[in-house]
A and B are shown apart, each in its own frame.
Chain A
Amino acid sequence: MPQTTLKTLAILNTKAPYSSTAGKDALDIALIFGSFEQPVALFFQGEGVRQLISGQDGSMINVKDYLKTFAAFEFYDIEEIYVCQTSLAQRGLVDDFHIDGVQVLNRQDFAQKLTAQQTILRF
């Protein structure tokens, strides 16, 4: 039997949560890959870092609050979640996230982790 190795997938989130469907689309892809036990790593950069900030509530503006679903990552074995420290700092944000297990990486480490994945989808 030939050995098959699973390809690693990175999902790069670069958009704020509520003004486009990019974040929700990225989440759907992540959960689909997770449910088929494919290795997925999530990256948050630029305005995408806002998806992780606690205290948000999309229901106030009649947007389905998909951010709450982030809490399910562990059930899909999605454990690699990286956020760009530079992007947080540029926005005056601190590492107050609404999920656990988020790793804050400096620009260099973030780039290194991201480009180490075999496939990268940007949203």
Chain B
Amino acid sequence: MTTLHIVRQSVFNSDDFSQCIQVLGINDVITFIDDGCYNLQHSLISTIDKSLNIQLTVIEQHANARAIAIDENIIAKITMKDLVTLTFANNTVITWQ
């Protein structure tokens, strides 16, 4: 049972991402979209428990529009089409907004 977490808000503006991190399960997926892309620039992302094997993804277009650099060693660039696929590949979806 895995969950796709869609994070839409910047941690600089809300604590959505902090709450998301607190409920992560093994092999869950996080996708950063819209202002959620700003979370790539926050240290909170490095606090995610590595033993959970979380897959981190970001909508490339959304990050590029905001001039946010993507470290592909940590996070995978995806498209909106890929996001649709992820919604089917996971058992549940939570949108943090």
- List, in ascending order, chain B residues with CB within 8 A of A106's CB: none
- List, in ascending order, chain A residues with CB within 8 A of B64's CB: 57, 60
**Contact at A91–B65, with CB atoms within 8 Å?**
no
B62 contacts chain A at the CB level, 8 A cutoff: yes
- List, in ascending order, chain B residues with CB within 8 A of A63's CB: 65
Segment of B22-30, B34-42, B50-58, B88-96 engaged in the interface with chain A: B34-42
Q: How far is the CA of A16 from the CA of B62 in the complex (A)?
A: 13
- List, in ascending order, chain B residues with CB within 8 A of A92's CB: 41
A46 contacts chain B at the CB level, 8 A cutoff: yes
Q: How far is the CA of A55 from the CA of B8 in the complex (A)?
A: 21
* Chain A: CB-nearest residue to B9: A19
In the complex with contacts A56-B65, A57-B65, A91-B35 CB distance below 8 A = no
How far apart are B6's CB and chain A's nearest CB, in angstroms?
14
- List, in ascending order, chain A residues with CB within 8 A of B66's CB: 16-18, 50, 56
10 interchain residue pairs of minimum CB distance: A55-B67, A60-B65, A61-B65, A56-B67, A19-B35, A16-B35, A19-B34, A92-B41, A60-B61, A47-B12
A→B interface (CB under 8 Å): 16-19, 46-47, 50, 53-61, 63, 90-93
